Every structure is written in C-alpha cells, then in structure tokens.
Amino acid sequence: MAPEYLCELVSIRKSSRKLRSSSQILLQVPVSRLKSYGDCAFNVAAPTLWNKLPANIRNASSLGNFKSLLKTHLFKVAFTDK
C-alpha cells in the first residue's frame, strides 16, 4: 500500500525463537547512532510508532477501519487526563 521507497526503509521483526510476540505484526527498529537526529529518521521513528499502537489497530481488516481506529485512539490519547 505504501510507495516502494518507504517499504524499503522498514522490515518486519523476525525472531529466531518462538515468542508470544511472534504472532503480532511488529516492525524491526534499527539502532541509531545519533540520538538527536537519528531517532527522528523515518526508518527509526515509523517502526517505533507502529509498534506502540494497540494490536487491534495494527490488525485492522481494512484501510478505512484502520483510519477510524487510529483516529479514535489518537483522540483518546490527546484528550484524556493523565
């Protein structure tokens, strides 16, 4: 669904062992050397944000459903008192 040049920057996390998280769709977060700029790079920031999303949003059945669930989640995060 994403452009090819963005797909090349992220990869699905693969584990050599059978873990409970193996059934989840998580992305590999590369290690960045520069904390100020490296963590802001797309190939680090995108997988980090994706992995923080709740499983029901990551496993949405369609793009429309994903957008709806994501919008609801972001509103809850922004407008709930902590």
pLDDT at 33: 75
- In 3D, which of 51, 45, 49 has the Cα closest to residue 32? 45
Residue 4's pLDDT is 85
pLDDT score, position 78? 92
Q: Is the pLDDT of residue 75 over 60?
A: yes
pTM for the predicted model, two decimal places: 0.71
Question: What are the pLDDT digits (tens) for 12-55?
Answer: 777 666 655 555 678 888 877 777 777 778 888 889 889 999 99
| DSSP E strand stretches across 1-82 | none
